[in-house]
Chain A
Amino acid sequence: MPERPLSPHLSVYKFKYTLATSILNRFAGLGLSLGFLLLVYWLVALAGGARAYAQARALLTLGIFKLVYVLLLAAFVYHLVAGIRHLIWDTGRGLERASVRRSAWVVATVSVVVTVIVAYWMLRPGAYAR
């Protein structure tokens, strides 16, 4: 095969917010793919009956998973908001430099705010205790 220039190289571009929002979307997507496996494990355990579910639940409520869930939540919210931005771009709108910069701020702000609110809801005292 002829040697062709290969586009996405993190190392050759000057680091700017455009690169940051783009690569973050990929990392978030990859994280969610791993999270999907966790969801499948949880569903399969549920289908395995009360005992299998109790075992899975004991594992999935270990302290470390609080961090996993918050990271997954952040990835979920970011991928969702940034994904909607991409869908808007696909219609040909919002591609000028000024609006790209503006929408980057909107995506960052909305992601942080929604993540913090939902994380607070998820981790509220006594949540899902039963």
Chain B
Amino acid sequence: MSLRGPLARVLGRGSAKQGVHEWWLQRLTSIALVPLAVGFAVSLLTLPALDYATLVGWVRHGGTALGLLLFVLVAARHSQLGVRVVIEDYVHASGLKTLALVATNFAHALAAAAAVFAILKVALGGHL
């Protein structure tokens, strides 16, 4: 005899309906990265030079700054999801797996934040 009612027994047993969230995000970031990554690569590789003045001018251009911000944010998320799946697939020791997941998540957040800060600093900075 249990004191739990029929509703309490059934709650939490079904799908949380979030199972495809990350699968979907990986697709969404993939689609976004097609134009963002190609645009970034073409824009960078067609620069006449890679000296400081040229690059600062490049990043300060509004279109470049916006494109760079979107690219690094979406790429960081896409990379985090991808590395996560690889770890989940190949690292089976549960402690090591958790450690690896925590480390890659932190690393991706740090990389994304540093990139965004750097882009904004160059794009909005006064001095050259």
Q: How far is A40 from B76 in the complex, measured between Cα atoms in Å?
A: 10
Give residues of chain B (18-68) contacting chain A, Cβ–Cβ below 8 Å: 27, 30-31, 33-34, 37-38, 41, 45, 47-52, 54-56, 59, 68
Query: Is A128 in contact with B47, judged by CB distance below 8 angstroms?
Result: yes
Given A40-B115, A130-B51: A46 and B79 within 8 A (CB)? no
State which size class the interface on B falls in: 35 or more
Tell me what chain A mostly uses at the interface: helix, strand, loop, or mixed. helix
Q: How far is A5 from B34 in the complex, measured between Cα atoms in Å?
A: 34
State which size class the interface on A falls in: 20 to 34
Q: Which residues of A contact B59 (CB under 8 A)?
A: 46
Q: Which residues of A contact B50 (CB under 8 A)?
A: 57, 128, 130
Q: Which residues of B contact A54 (CB under 8 A)?
A: 52
Cβ contact of B48, chosen from A43, A46, A130, cutoff 8 A: A130
Cβ contact of A122, chosen from B45, B48, B68, B111, cutoff 8 A: B45
Q: How far is A86 from B90 in the complex, measured between Cα atoms in Å?
A: 21
Q: How far is A6 from B24 in the complex, measured between Cα atoms in Å?
A: 22
7 more A-B contacts (CB under 8 A) besides A26-B86, A76-B41, A80-B34?
A: A32-B79, A40-B72, A44-B118, A53-B52, A57-B51, A86-B30, A87-B30
